[in-house]
Chains A and B, each alone.
Chain A
């Protein structure tokens, strides 16, 4: 009989009168990996924030190895052996890896308040080796990829000798290789007897990793039990509160003959090479590639965020020249970027203003006075928020920064959908979003396509692309390696194409690190 590492007893928390957690009672045995799942806004991060001292619960108690535990600040939790790897990583990108590892407790030179630099570097190097990361501890965080940053966070947890480690959606921005490396590291941690809480929207990952599963819905614990008692279907049903029969809604329309976006021999040294494709009216064109294959770079160049050296981009038959974001918006091109949080939100502004931001022009009234018809704008924002199931307080008051991670993602998507674009570029739109909302987003995409919008859909989830797209382009090493029509979709050959030219790409990555 193993003892409990952690017990929550009737823990509740509300924000501005809205309950985010109500009466959560849950116990986690020592050395166990708990998979914590739930829809966006279900309260997963909030529960972990309570444990890590980021917030204090309104009611209820927590026990750590049988002892009552009431952290009042994150430092309390760290001291008690809890490490929290946040959904949005909590690193200082202006500082080096060592600084980040020891920022709240550097090794000191004989008790003086002076940092023992040599010792810090040596220990840091050991920790980095333990998580299989070949980097100098002096490297600034800003030069690391998201996957490497994740591993730095884990190294930090190891350095504290944390007994309980919380992963809040750790895989959202990892490459496939980084993800399997992460799983290996997690397996090692579990073997060492550490207790792990793993939050994710990737149900397959949770099924694969978890010993125990707990499901939250609307701040309540709806079910918990050993991992082998759960199937993907049961997880979805528990999370959403109803059965979801199919993952992908059926498409009613087919692409039209007219081409709206014509890309010819687009080349930018170091990024992409000789890319040509045509996007038709009402077509959903998938772009598949591993991370670092050039798919996001292609999107940024087409939208006008980055320059290109040669080639051409034609929108509806006219040459767009060197595109800029402003010209793209005027041409009816919308771009949902991969880094939605950094590039897409006004954190202090209410949800509705964020949603309206890019389509305000449409609500300008009274001729040249261009005064915004706020009521119409708010109504449109509310409709969009409802159809994407954004979980928020009153949207004209609730600030974007107070939304859950997944709901923030939805707000950015809502903003671009509302512009009613002629060409929509989506880069990993379902990342961090729960199953129910995914289905809604797919339906909206189908709906847009049937009304003639051309969609460029970038994703690293092959299944998603095969479920949604008319055609798929496969990229690797900055080039298009293959192209498949809907009837030819075949997992095996797509993956093969995606790995083509990877060896040289890896060399480049190694060069970049020097």
Chain B
């Protein structure tokens, strides 16, 4: 009896992101039933796809117990360089995407070197990259908006088999790839191991620096990809592009159950729901015509309560998982 209740509680607590998501849907349904149309839900996913991709990159780094504050600047630099290449040298969409990803990976590599070789704290190293990265981007763009040509921006509204918008398709591929990498490759398992304790990982024969570096490089790569997916929808890159997105990405990951201490969290469904969640709140607030100045406050309150619920959950789960030593009849 008691057993069963405990089991139920622990299942609910373990699926907190899912539960929050359902609660959110119910809330929207109650306040504004029309918001639950298929079109709106598709929109939420579409708009969430870019932040979701960035959040997945962020997840790699968070799992190692680090943090990457530079993803917003990374998105900006890589998009600006890709855009300029298309404008000036009229490269096609494919090569431009490739260039964008290369820039993102280089950006991530610099972070990786700073963290693993120069042994700078991730927070500090990526903060420096956040500031200097945007500076470099602004140098290239001369602070002007960079417009992407039509064939690329057309992709933003195009649909695969006229069914699914491309941003969602790319998001889905990224989710699948990341889940495969984290759970079915040695690198993925070692990322989790590193997040538990770096010294223990080293003693277990893991090349800890290499794994850590891989996480930052992947994070940079996904940040650039996320940026590209966003530009494709927006059409151009202005000087503030990506600013603040690092925090949305971190919030999405944490909402999805990724621990800031490292070693715990899943891409699917956790981080995916986290990203959609954040996007859904803002869409919901707009369609409910809430005062614009209240948006950040409400979003913050929701994130705060989700994280609070998460920490309560951990304490409670720890209690539940203690073994009993007596059999009570």
Contact = CB atoms under 8 A, between A and B. Distances in A.
Contacts of A293: 325
Interface string B129-144: 0000000000000000
Interface in A66-95: 73-75, 78, 84, 86, 90-95
Interface residues on A, range: 35 or more
A95 B326 contact: no
B119 interface: no
Interface in B274-329: 321, 323-328
A511 interface: yes
Interface of A: 54, 73-75, 78, 84, 86, 90-95, 99, 102-106, 113-115, 117, 142-143, 269-273, 292-294, 297, 477-478, 504-505, 507-509, 511-512
What 3 pairs across the A-B complex have the smallest Cβ distances? A270-B324, A104-B205, A75-B205
Contacts of B264: 94
B186 A113 contact: yes
Given A293-B325, A505-B326, A115 B186 contact: yes
Nearest to A506: B327
Given A92-B193, A92-B196, A104-B205, A477 B326 contact: yes
B162 interface: no
B166 interface: no
- With a 10 A CB-CB cut-off, give which of B192, B321, B325 has the most chain A CB atoms: B325
B200 to A, nearest CB: 5
A509 B323 contact: yes
B297 to A, nearest CB: 35
- With a 10 A CB-CB cut-off, give which of B204, B206, B321 has the most chain A CB atoms: B204
A301 to B, nearest CB: 12
Nearest to B323: A512
Given A92-B196, A94-B192, A114-B184, A74 B205 contact: yes
A272 B186 CA distance: 44
17 contacts: A73-B202, A74-B202, A74-B204, A78-B205, A90-B204, A91-B200, A92-B201, A92-B263, A95-B192, A99-B192, A103-B189, A103-B205, A269-B326, A272-B326, A477-B326, A478-B325, A478-B326
Interface string B188-226: 011011011100111111110000000000000000000
Contacts of A106: 186, 189
- With a 10 A CB-CB cut-off, give which of A115, A272, A273, A297 has the most chain B CB atoms: A115
B185 interface: yes
A54 B203 CA distance: 7
Nearest to B186: A106
Contacts of A294: 325-326
A104 B206 contact: yes
Contact of A92 (B192, B325, B328): B192
B325 A269 contact: no
B321 A143 contact: yes
Contacts of B187: 113
B207 A75 contact: yes
